[in-house]
Every structure is written in C-alpha cells, then in structure tokens.
Structure 1
Amino acid sequence: MEGLLLWRYITTIALILCLGIFAFPARPKDSAKPGPEVFSAKHETSSKLTLVEQDVKLTDELCRSQCSLDYAKMLAQIDSGMPAQAVLSDMQKHHEKMHLLIWTKRGEPLEKGVTSGDVAAGSYKKEASKYLAEAKKQVDQGKHYQSPKFGAGKDVYFVQGTPAVTGKDGLVGLIHQDVLYQVTDHQMKNLRLEPYPNENRWKIESVHTDTLQDKVVDHPEDNQGTSHYHQNEVVVRFKTDPNAAQLKQIQAEIKATSLQKLGYTYVFRTSSMEAKALMAYFKKWDVVYAEPHYLYLTNDERARNHEEKSGAAAADETEGEISSNFTPNDNLYSRYQWNLPLIETVQGWQLNRGASDVIVGVVDTGVDLQHPDLQGQLLPGYNVVSGNSDPQDDVGHGTHVAGVIAALVNNNRGVAGMTWYNKVLPVKVLDETGAGSTYSVAQGIIWATDHGAKVINLSLGNYADSGFLHDAIKYAFDKDVALIAASGNDNTERPGYPAAYSEVFAVAATDSENMKATFSNYGDYIDVAAPGVSIASTYPNNQYAALSGTSMASPHVTALAALVRSTNPNLKNTEVYELIRKSARDIGDEGKDNYFGYGVIDVVKAIQLAEESVGNTQSAPAETPTSEEESSTTTNASDRVSAPLPSWPQTLARQLYLITRRHLD
C-alpha cells in the first residue's frame, strides 16, 4: 500500500482528465476586484497532485546531483592516497542513502573491488545487480552512469557509476532513495491532500471553525474552514484562579485523567467527557474562555569558504565585500535555487549578510542537528514534545525551513540560505506526525522569545482562533519579536491562524513566474508574498529536497526580517513589518490586494530602507515593571524593545501569568 501512495494520486489525475471533468477555475464570489484565478476544489486538487509529482522529480534530481559530487569527492580522496575502505566507510557513516559502495579498478571484476555495504535491496536485488553490472561497464569505458530509479514506496533505488579522473579506477554504488517516499508522504499532508490528521496517535474531531458543528473530512477540499481538536480535552482560562479545593472538585466532576497548566491557563483531559461537553461544563465556573485544544500542522569578489573554517569563525566573519556579479559556489544553487535571484538576494548580500546576534526562532518539527549544510548555524534548542533539549527533526519540515533561512553559503555544498550569519534557534513543537497541540505551539513561542529570538518563523496553522495561542503570540510581540507565519495551503480566503493575528506578519506563496501558487491561501490579512513552489533546501540525513507550500514561502520573509534587523538593530517589530511591506514589489492589482498583500518581497530594497533608517531610530531603555499590576498594563509593542529575560522553565508560569492578567483585568 505504501508503495502505491504516489502513483495512486498520479492515476487519479489521469482519470480526471480522461473523464473530462477537469474543472475550470472559479473566482471567489465575494471578490470585489479582479485578481489571480482561484481554482475550484477539483482543479486545486489535481494541481496539487501535479505539484507533488514535480517536487518528487526535483528531489530525485537533487539527490542524483549531490551523489555525483559525493562520488567525485571520494575518488579524489582515494587518488590522494587515503585508504579506499576508510573513505567508503566514512561516507556511509554520514550518508545513510549510500546503500552500497564499490571502488573498482578498470578491467577488474566488480566483485574484486573494495566494498562497503550490501547489494541486498529487498525484492529488487535482481534489478540492482543488473544496473550495477551496467555501471561497471560504463565506468571501465570512462563514462559516468546513472540508472533509472527502481523499486516502490520506501524501497526506491538507483545505481551510479563514476570514473576517476585518471581513468584507472572508478566508483560504483547503489543509492537508497527513501527520500522520495518521505517527500511524497510529507507533501500529501503539507498540501492537505490527505484528510488531516490521519494518524492514530491523535484522537481528534473535525469541526466547522465558525459553528463548531461536526464535519466529516474525507477529501482535501474539506480542510477549508475546518479545525481539528482533541476529543477529550479542553483549554480553560479562569477569571479567578481556582483554589486547591475547587480544582479538586473540577477534577472529580469531570473525572480528569491529567491536568497541565501555564499561568492561568489549564488543559484538562478526561476519558469520560468529550470536548463540547467539557466546554459546557465550565460555563458555571465564570471563565474567560473554555475552548477546544486545537491541533496545528505544518503549512518548505570575495567569498568565504565556511567549510574550511570553524562554525564560529565563519559565522562571526562580517568584514569584506562581495562583487556585483557574485554567484555562490553551493553545488545546487545555480540550477535549482530560482527563488533567491527572483527576490534579489545576492544584491542584498552586497549590503548586509546578517548578524549572529539577531537570532531566528524556527518553531516547527525541529531541525536536523547533524546536517553538514547547517553546521555552525544552529543554537541549542528545545523539544517541547518530549520536554528535553534535543529538537532533532523526525519529519523534515523544520530542517527544510531552517535551510531556506540559514544553510551555509559558498561552502561548495548543497544549497545556499538567505542569511550568512544569523543563528537559528530550533524549537520542536510538532511531533513525528507533523502535528502539535495549541499547548505545545504556545510553549514553543514563549520559549523562543525567552531565549533571545528576535524573529520567529511559524510555518504551521489552523483555522481556529485560539485565545490560548493568541496569548503566546501577544507575549512574543510585546517582547518586540517579529513573528512571521504561513497563510496556509487550502486555496481559501478563510483566515488561518496564527497568520491572521494582527501581531503576525502573514505570507502567501508565489511560483517562479510571480504568479499566485495554486494552493496558497489569500485574504485581506496577507502582508506579502514570497517564493513557495518547488523550493530546494536541506532535509534530514544529509539530504536535500524540493518542497512546496506557504511553509516554504514564510522562511524567505523570516530571513529577510533577520537581515533587516541585522542592518538596523534598533528597528521595532512593527517597523520591520512596515519596511518589508514598503519595499515589496507590487505584482498584483495596484496597491495592496488579497493575493499578494503589498507584493513579493525584495531583499535589496528592504535592506536599503533599513540602512536609510539607521539614523532615524534609537534604542529605548527596557521597561522594568515595579509590580504585577504595572506588568499587567497593556502596552503596544511598537513602544517597547526586548529586555533580558529569565531562564526557562522556572519563570514560565510567571510570564504566562503576566500575559493572561492583561486579559483578566
């Protein structure tokens, strides 16, 4: 079944076309002025399926290109005198996809070569052996060889052969491409082509966001306007904190099996009552709100060689300039990273390439902490899901987002990120299924804020307006954090959260032609647009992948916000927002529109405006409340700057207490 996942959907496209029921694009009924075509549900679904196929194809190319470079590197090491066995073993140690490697001399039988790994490829051993023999033949003739991919599901492979420069030997191997399955599976969820969520880990209900009426989610288009929440949990904020006796009474009456607390906000879980009944129960307790515990899902001439320096030395090196015709030497940049030239990234680098003290929080599925293209770019993060300091990515989404922001530039490897020196603070709030609760997302935002993040990327969302999550957003915003969020991938005008909160900068997605991405949500809350179709970036296990989604558009804007704050650290978050809006290139209807906001981001213009503003801004002293009453006074974030914050987790309750008190008073 797993093996047929991608092809099932490709077949669906063909069936739709053959039956002649391919729907024509339809504009939203409430659109007051002309704009990009907003596709009907059937057209949207087929377009998304085509995009998944495109992303998988591009990921295949990225894998093959990087493997060719890895083979050339191994051969160069062997030719320099390093033992072949040690070279092959080291490569396999760091690259799990290298299933089998054979160093072979010309004219010598393949089985006589130096081997690392096993030819076994499940039920595909026969095909593997055939292609290995062909690869050996081509290498002996001095030719490079790559077989077609073969296998299905998680067991997809291809064979590669690369001759040495001397022509006397070569390298033949079997490469495991399970990344293609991972990308397929990930994009089916990320683009909402699978009813969400479908894993048994979550006992959830689906409801219409406005009415909370039950809703069956059987098809991708059903996700529009749909929110998902835990069946037997409720989030409650009391006007007056219950005392011990009252809390004990509540737990007894609802037969609570667990209780979590952040400040005045509680999450009750019970096996005997469903969420709607729980919300009804709490009406008698004079609460500010009792709401479902919602789930959130992922929504992607002087150059320095970072690979030759320590991470710290490379990151701190800010002197020097790059020429106007500079092109990064990252192996996949020129062919695959169409997105960076489109938004004038290289021209922006001539003005500013970032600063290590402007920290970027990535609140997501975690980040691959061992990825070679992110080494030296990551700060110690936090795993909210497991409650420890290991935010290792087990999905791929967060690693891809982090690569867009901060993959090492000009290091002769993989892809280039948008910033050279800004550090990424990884915070894992979504689990191995790519889903996470309001509680975990709120915790992650607060943790990132308390640990120095000046910009936070939120490539996740739901259609539910959660007071609990909004509190955490306001907390970060009031601490002068710039919050950037993806609008969502359902091609709907319904506002998604957290993107639609006024404190958050909302991002829509465009393609390589500066057209609206077919999946991108839209509406009057959109601030700007950024590239979000087939974006090449880092992926777990030393790999690279192409993903599509507003999740991939958002980190482009996050990186730009980091560059802007690196250029002028005195800019407040609201000023950063306004500067990015003002510098955007208008690509839709004149002025702000619902599809692109103020337009597609322009890196060089934004940095130029930040430079021009340096003399017009100055730091204000951090506010130090003298009492809890003073702390609870609502203050506009534009009048505040970030101040040193206490450590986690001892003061988390107090910090949540302060932000919730604002709403109680």
Structure 2
Amino acid sequence: MRRYLSTITLALGLGIILFPHHSNNETKPGPEVYSAKYETNSKLALLEQDVKLTDDLCRTQCSTDYVKMISQIEAGEQPDKVLTSMKSAHEKMDVLIWTKRSQTIEQGVKAGEIPVSYKDQAAAYLAEAKAAAESGRHYQSPKFGAGQQVYFVQGLPASNGENSLIGVIHQDILHQVTDHQMKNLRLEPYPNENRWKVESVDTDTLKDKVVDHPEDNQGTSHYHQNEVVVKFKQDPTEAQLAQIKSEIKATSVQKIGYTFVFRTEGMEAKALMAYFGKWDVAYVEPHFLYLTNDYYDDQEEDTTDTTKSNYTDSQNSQTSSIAPNFKPNDNLFSKYQWNLPLIETVEGWQFNRGAKDVIVAVVDTGADLQHPDLKGQLLPGYNVITGNDQPQDDVGHGTHVTGVIAAIVNNNLGVAGMTWYNKVMPVKVLDQTGAGSTYSVAQGIIWAADHGAKVMNLSLGNYADSGFLHDAIKYAYDKDVALIAASGNDNTERPGYPAAYPEVFAVAASDSENKKAPFSNYGDYIDVTAPGVSIASTYPDNQYAALSGTSMASPHVTALAALIRSTNPNLKNTDVYQIMRDSAQDLGTTGFDKYFGYGLIDVSKAIQLAEKRTSTSFNWSKNWFTQRFISQKYAWRLNDNGLAKTSESKTNF
C-alpha cells in the first residue's frame, strides 16, 4: 500500500515497508525484523518464483488444451475448425499445425502465422517438436525471445501414431506477471502515470517527499494535485455551491452521498484545503489514490467434453454430499494449489460449499468476463471508471482475486475456487494502471452494498486515513456487509486503510510453511492470516498465473466469510468476523499476535462453528472493537510550516 495505495489507487498487493535502521545484512532475526536488503532480495526471489510458476501453469494448461484438440479431431471434427476455434479462444496460441507423418510442416493444416522476428528460431523448434511427436514423445522447447515477445514450441502425438499437433505459444503473460509483481510487491517506486497528476507526501505530515527508490514508499501517500474531498456539516445551498465553484474556479464537482470532490486547474490541494477553512465542514482532505495490494457458456460445446456435465451436476446438487476422499479434478489443483488443502478447504466442503444467494463483491480492477473458469460464477457488476456495467479487467489483479474465491470447481479445467456456488459481483474501481481515486473506490463500495453484496473483498489500500473512504466503509458495514481487506505488502507496522478501519476484517499473508510472508504488513489491527505466496489462479485471456501478495491472501478469507454466511444466513457481519477468529489455527506466539492475528484460517472448523452459532454480535462486538487497533482520528490544518496533523478525537468502542 505504499506507492499505489497512498493516493487512492487501492493497490494490488499493498505495501513493502523497509526498515532502514536495521543492519543491511542477509540475516532474518525474527518474523518482523527484515533489513532492506533481505526484504528486497526476498521479494525479488518471490517475483522470480511467481514467473517460473506462471510459466509452468501456462505449459500445463496448454498441454491440456492440446489433448482436447486432438480428441476433437480424432472424434471426427474438421482439423481446421478445431484449430481456428482454439486459437480464437486462446490468443496466446500464435500457430497451431495438425500434421501427418508423411507431410512436411508446411503441408499441415495450419491456423496462425509464425512471428517474423523469431521465424527461424521457431522453425527449428517446430522441426524438433514434429520429430519428437512422431516418436511418441511430448515435446516442449525452452523459452525464446525477449520482453513481451517470449515464446515456446509444443508438440503432442495423436493416439494413432500417424498425426501430431505442434505449435508456437506466445508467453507475454510472463512479462505481464513481472510488471504486475514489481508493482504489487512494491519493488519499484510509485509510477507517476501521465493520467494521474499526483504528489508523493509523508503520510504523517503531508510534506512533499521524493520517491526514487522502493524504500522511499514506506509511509508515503499520494494525492491529486488539484483536487480535495470535502464533507460539509450541512450541505451547501445551490447559491453557496455556485459561490465555491466561482471562487476556486472549479472545473468539476462530483458528489457521492454527502461528500464532494472539487477539482480545479488554478489551485493546488493545500491551497484548496486552506480555502475550505472558512466553510462549516466536517472534514476536508486531499483526494488520495489507492491501488492493488493483487452463466454457462452459451456457445455450443462438444458432447465429448465432460467439463460442462460435471459442472452442471455440481450446480444442481448444492445440498448433496461429496465423498470423504473427494479431490477436485481441476487439472491445476493437485500440483499447484497447495493453499487450499493447507486451510482445510476440501474438508470444509463436506459441510457446505456455498449458496448462490450469498453474493460476494470484488472491488478491484474488474474480472475477465469471458474466462472459461469464471463464466457462470459472475453476476452483472459495475465499472465505476467508465460508468457502465462492463467491469472488464484490463490489469489482471481482479481476475486473479476472483478465481481464488470462485473459479469453477470440478470442471476438469484450470484451478478450483474455494466456493462452489457463491456468485461474484465484479466492481471495477481501479483503472488500467492499477490505481483509482478515493471517489471511485468509495463509489464502488457503496454501489456493491446497495446491490446485494453480503461479503466484500478489498485487495487495495493506502496509508492515508481518509474520512471519505471511511464513510463508505461504514455505510457498507451498517448494511451488514462483511468487509475483508488486504493489509499491504511493505512489511511495516504502519496501519494501512481500509484494512485498519475497525469495521474491516484485516488479512496478513503466510507461505506454504505457515511462516509470515516477507512482504506482509503486520500490527495490532491484523485479524487473521491466509496463504499469499505464489497463489495459482485465473488470469485474463483464458490464462492462469501465480501471484504473491496480501491481495492474494484476502480473497481466501473473503471466500470463507461467504461459506460461513451460506451455512448460517442469520449471522451478522460481526458474527462472521468472530467465527473466523475463533476457528483460526494459532501461529507464532500463543494467542493473538501482531504478525498472524488470531492465526491461519481453518475452513472446516469455521463452517462447523457457523452451523452451531446463533447471532450474539451485540454481546461481544464491543469487546472485539476494544481489542482491535483503533486508528487515531486526525484533522489536517495549515500552519506556517505547511500541513500538520492534529489529534481530533479517539473513538472508543
């Protein structure tokens, strides 16, 4: 939550705080003490691991797709139609060639063209692939190319021994994941995107801060240079609003609820805040940026494909039991999804697998609305950025988060989500850079709460305590929405928002050995921990990727909250929170601690507790809030030295 989070771009992964006062060495004395060098090296190693695993996921899924194409052709379908159809649905498959033993590669049935820049290299690997396949062997070449133009060649023999399927696969996803994780894990300074006119400031003082290196992001927030957010104690009349617009030369005024966002070309944020001192306002604050912390197919399907039939059976058997030794047949589950067995997900499915009337909102970058592992799981959502109902993901973060929650289970395809039946409502509040304003995030939260969300995932954040955002959070909380948020990826104890708000359930990240992820933020506001290292999930354009971050940990908890509410619809959001704490597997020091909260979530135990528990939120919620980290509420004032932070009040529960 540093670079992107600050200005309200609620970030993909949130934060990477380094500790410059520690020695610059490779040792790791404890879960919270990481030197800048150790933390950076750990994150670089994780990035490399995520890219390597994504490469492996791509190759595995491509092999599955090849097997499907060969089966269709051997069943009597025309090779050219099969190849064209697959290439149309999977743009990464640049060239597909169905060839006979007696044919040259050029004589085979072909869809697509070999990239000119790598034609010679690709041709050499294609020849190797054909020879290997005709010998009955599965062939995959090394990667070749550079940057976004990275490829590999694959060859697979047909069962008759006379034909083979070979082709060139474009792996631009590796570049996407690298770029994504550089931002998500805060390995690069906050990018001053051309579309955002932002300033980097110290969160405590709002004094300008130069961000040249990843370490500079610690405690840094970002805001729009020429905008402020204002909540009046009493809404201005039309005449007063016209006066304000005239005096500040406003170019636009937006309103959500009782809060206004004023934009002007003539005044900067500090001057605007000083101006509103003469008006009766509840608060005036910079317009911060936040960023990521990370239907059935209506087309005619081949009757030999078991994907749809298995899925249909499961959808029609929401209350049916599954075998005690059940293991989903999703082809990436056993090898790559270490995270679900670790938190007892399959065991939990013995008791409940979700309910379609418990809607989960993913407030993020949107979702890939056509992904075959998500279609049928998505409800109509909203795109705050464009103002329409097409929240198509143009980043990848939201698609990945959505897959962790609700990728179709047991459909012989890709990954398994944690819930079978809970529908996801994608709400796009972050743009193509992975950033969004306080206004867009708040608007998305309110929209989701008004459109039936029972659980909401917020894998985004900022270190700035925004009254505007908090008002939106409280609005959703008061509508009994369970709000789950990522803590951030800066390895800092500094609270990030919205995770640190008392109405929000905060999630830290752990690895496959139940150790604190080296990037995960920590503090007294952390509620629980969930897997967040190299998590395999859905990615745009029918792909799958492995990503790390508290953004990936948060949707595990969101899915659990949905399963709890599916098990016992009478529970309040506070009941859901308490059940997840009470059922967590204790990690770290005995009892609650600031690195793991109450511990690692346990799906099976939580669902069983939900079956037994009645709503007693009124009796214990006050105790819970007193245990939570309650952030100090501040007001901003302008003095001779610039903006300063003054304590206004401290809320007690």
TM-score, length basis structure 1 = 0.86
Name the counterpart of 1:428.
Answer: 428
**Deviation string, structure 1 residues 367-399 (Cα, Å, up to 9, x no partner):** 000000011100000000000000000000000
Name the counterpart of 2:104.
Answer: 109
What is the aligned residue count? 591
Query: In structure 2, what residue type is equivalent to 1:568?
Result: N
Which secondary structure state, in structure 2, belongs to the residue aligned with residue 494 of structure 1? coil
Whole-angstrom CA distance in 2 between matches of 1:291 and 1:618: 37
1:39 aligns with 2:37: no
Whole-angstrom CA distance in 2 between matches of 1:256 and 1:88: 56
Whole-angstrom CA distance in 2 between matches of 1:37 and 1:208: 23
8 Å Cα contact 2:574/2:617 also seen in 1: no
Name the counterpart of 2:288.
Answer: 294
8 Å Cα contact 1:310/1:376 also seen in 2: no
Whole-angstrom CA distance in 1 between matches of 2:178 and 2:441: 25
In the alignment, which of 29, 43, 47 is matched to residue 48 of structure 1?
A: 43
Q: Which structure ranks higher in relative contact order (CA pairs < 8 Å, sequence separation ≥ 6)?
A: 2
Query: In structure 2, what residue type is equivalent to 1:101?
Result: L
Query: In structure 1, what residue type is equivalent to 2:191?
Result: P
Name the counterpart of 2:222.
Answer: 228
1:131 aligns with 2:125: yes
Whole-angstrom CA distance in 1 between matches of 2:125 and 2:110: 16
Which secondary structure state, in structure 2, belongs to the residue aligned with residue 38 of structure 1? coil
In the alignment, which of 63, 66, 69 is matched to residue 61 of structure 2?
A: 66
Q: Displacement, 1:324?
A: 1.9
1:172 aligns with 2:174: no
Q: Displacement, 1:306?
A: 8.3
- Map 1:163-562; keep pairs closer than 5 Å: 163-300=157-294, 307-309=307-309, 314-562=314-562
In the alignment, which of 75, 78, 87 is matched to residue 83 of structure 1?
A: 78
Whole-angstrom CA distance in 2 between matches of 1:390 and 1:212: 36
Task: Identify if the C-alpha distance between structure 1 residues 202 and 385 changes in structure 2 by more than 3 Å, giving closer, same or farther.
Answer: same
**Deviation string, structure 1 residues 403-445 (Cα, Å, up to 9, x no partner):** 0000000100000000000000000000000000000000101
8 Å Cα contact 2:226/2:263 also seen in 1: yes
8 Å Cα contact 2:575/2:616 also seen in 1: no
Whole-angstrom CA distance in 1 between matches of 2:33 and 2:187: 17
Q: Displacement, 1:602?
A: 0.5
Task: Identify if the C-alpha distance between structure 1 residues 316 and 494 changes in structure 2 by more than 3 Å, giving closer, same or farther.
Answer: farther
Q: Displacement, 1:312?
A: 7.7
Whole-angstrom CA distance in 2 between matches of 1:386 and 1:393: 12
Whole-angstrom CA distance in 2 between matches of 1:306 and 1:136: 29
Of 461-470 and 317-326, more deviation after overlay is shown by 317-326
In the alignment, which of 16, 19, 25 is matched to residue 23 of structure 1?
A: 25
Which secondary structure state, in structure 2, belongs to the residue aligned with residue 492 of structure 1? coil
Whole-angstrom CA distance in 2 between matches of 1:483 and 1:202: 28
Which secondary structure state, in structure 2, belongs to the residue aligned with residue 471 of structure 1? helix
Which secondary structure state, in structure 1, belongs to the residue aligned with residue 110 of structure 2? strand
Which secondary structure state, in structure 2, belongs to the residue aligned with residue 124 of structure 1? helix
**Deviation string, structure 1 residues 596-647 (Cα, Å, up to 9, x no partner):** 000000000101101112xx34999xxxxxxxxxxxxxx99x9xxxxxxxxx
Whole-angstrom CA distance in 2 between matches of 1:244 and 1:456: 35
Q: Displacement, 1:98?
A: 0.6
5+ residue gaps, structure 2: 1-22, 295-304, 625-650
Q: Displacement, 1:128?
A: 0.9
Query: In structure 1, what residue type is equivalent to 2:166?
Result: V
Whole-angstrom CA distance in 1 between matches of 2:248 and 2:308: 61
Whole-angstrom CA distance in 1 between matches of 2:306 and 2:240: 59
Which secondary structure state, in structure 2, belongs to the residue aligned with residue 426 of structure 1? strand
Q: Displacement, 1:243?
A: 1.4
**Deviation string, structure 1 residues 29-84 (Cα, Å, up to 9, x no partner):** xxxxxx52431222211111111111000000000000001001100100010000
Whole-angstrom CA distance in 2 between matches of 1:311 and 1:326: 15
Which secondary structure state, in structure 1, belongs to the residue aligned with residue 373 of structure 2? helix
Task: Identify if the C-alpha distance between structure 1 residues 75 and 312 changes in structure 2 by more than 3 Å, giving closer, same or farther.
Answer: closer
In the alignment, which of 154, 162, 166 is matched to residue 160 of structure 1?
A: 154
Task: Identify if the C-alpha distance between structure 1 residues 101 and 505 changes in structure 2 by more than 3 Å, giving closer, same or farther.
Answer: same
8 Å Cα contact 2:24/2:36 also seen in 1: no
State the Cα RMSD in Å. Answer: 2.0
Q: Displacement, 1:155?
A: 0.5
Whole-angstrom CA distance in 1 between matches of 2:309 and 2:384: 32
5+ residue gaps, structure 1: 1-20, 28-34, 621-634, 639-662
Task: Identify if the C-alpha distance between structure 1 residues 316 and 225 changes in structure 2 by more than 3 Å, giving closer, same or farther.
Answer: farther
Name the counterpart of 1:31.
Answer: none
8 Å Cα contact 1:45/1:221 also seen in 2: no
Q: Displacement, 1:198?
A: 3.4
8 Å Cα contact 1:306/1:314 also seen in 2: no
Task: Identify if the C-alpha distance between structure 1 residues 478 and 221 changes in structure 2 by more than 3 Å, giving closer, same or farther.
Answer: same
Whole-angstrom CA distance in 2 between matches of 1:145 and 1:306: 26
Whole-angstrom CA distance in 2 between matches of 1:484 and 1:520: 16
8 Å Cα contact 2:383/2:391 also seen in 1: yes
Q: Displacement, 1:471?
A: 0.4
- Map 1:507-656; keep pairs closer than 5 Å: 507-613=507-613, 616-617=614-615
8 Å Cα contact 2:488/2:551 also seen in 1: yes
Whole-angstrom CA distance in 1 between matches of 2:572 and 2:495: 25
**Deviation string, structure 1 residues 119-139 (Cα, Å, up to 9, x no partner):** 12x422221111111111111
Whole-angstrom CA distance in 1 between matches of 2:169 and 2:315: 33
Which secondary structure state, in structure 1, belongs to the residue aligned with residue 421 of structure 2? coil
Name the counterpart of 1:4.
Answer: none
